[in-house]
């Protein structure tokens, strides 16, 4: 769950992005996992989803390999884009500001650390080339 005032708008990176409405100090917690708000979808459940829902999960949810779940946020964090120089640092159950962020800054993360499988060029190779992406769960969805 995003802990800062934010909005979703067009992103110069890709499609829609999530932006902060307020300045954020370096090191402040910006996102925290909240099981009452964020949804964990078992990877095995994707086999029962329509293709469009699978696409949504692959492109907007974080895959957590050791739990075999996709974690989908119910707020603007589902529109968080990838950056090689992200504005947020993934600390597991939290994300913190990598530096001072002025209001209007796009909140980004590195998909190599926050594993978003729908973006094959940024997700870890063992996951992209494993059975999850190329197996029966994907209903022919291209990675």
Whether residue 143 lies inside any domain: the answer is no
Domain membership of residue 30 (yes or no) is yes
d(CA 136, CA 45): 11
Query: What CATH code is carried by the domain that includes residue 83?
Result: 2.170.270.10
Burial class (CB in 10 A: 0-12, 13-18, 19+), 108: buried
Give pLDDT, residue 125.
Answer: 44
Say how far apart CA 26 and CA 4 lie, in whole Å.
Answer: 13
Q: Rounded CA gap, 31 and 109, in Å?
A: 11
pLDDT at residue 59 in the model: 87
Number of domains in the chain: 1
What is the reported pLDDT for 121? Answer: 55
- Which pLDDT score is estimated for 119? 57
Please tell me the predicted confidence (pLDDT) of residue 116.
66
- In a domain, residue 1? The reply is no
User: In this predicted structure, what is the pLDDT of residue 19?
Assistant: 98
Q: Is residue 83 part of a domain?
A: yes
Give residue 39's pLDDT.
94
Q: What is the pLDDT of residue 70?
A: 93
CA–CA gap between residue 36 and residue 42 (Å, rounded) = 16
Q: Judge whether 89 lies within some domain.
A: yes
Q: What is the pLDDT of residue 135?
A: 46
DSSP assignment, residue 131? H
- Does the pTM of the predicted model rise above 0.85? no
Q: What's the CA dihedral at 52, 89, 123, 19 to 10 degrees?
A: 40
Cβ neighbours, 10 Å, residue 131: 11
Domain that holds residue 48: 6-138
For residue 94, the 8-state DSSP code is E
Q: Is residue 118 part of a domain?
A: yes
For residue 55, being part of any structural domain is answered with yes
Has residue 82 been placed in a domain? yes
CA distance 2 to 105: 14
E strand spans, the chain: 6-10, 16-20, 29-32, 39-42, 62-64, 69-72, 81-82, 88-90, 94-97, 108-109
* pLDDT in single tens digits along all 143 residues of the chain: 999 999 999 999 989 999 999 999 999 999 999 999 999 999 999 999 999 999 999 988 889 888 999 999 889 888 999 999 999 999 988 999 999 999 999 999 988 877 767 655 544 444 444 445 444 444 444 33
């Amino acid at each position: 769950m995003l802990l800062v005032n934010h909005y979703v708008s067009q992103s110069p990176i890709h499609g829609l992005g999530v932006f902060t409405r307020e300045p954020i100090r370096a090191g402040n917690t910006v996102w925290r996992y909240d099981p009452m708000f964020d949804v964990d979808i078992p990877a095995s459940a994707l086999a029962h989803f329509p293709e469009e829902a699978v696409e949504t999960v692959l492109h907007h949810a974080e895959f957590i390999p050791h739990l075999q779940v996709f974690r989908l946020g119910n707020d603007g964090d589902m529109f968080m884009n990838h950056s090689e120089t992200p504005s947020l640092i993934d600390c597991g159950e939290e994300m913190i500001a990598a530096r001072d962020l002025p209001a209007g800054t796009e909140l980004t993360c590195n998909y190599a650390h926050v594993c978003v499988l729908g973006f094959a060029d940024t997700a870890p190779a063992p996951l992209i080339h494993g059975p999850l992406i190329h197996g029966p769960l994907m209903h022919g969805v291209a990675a």
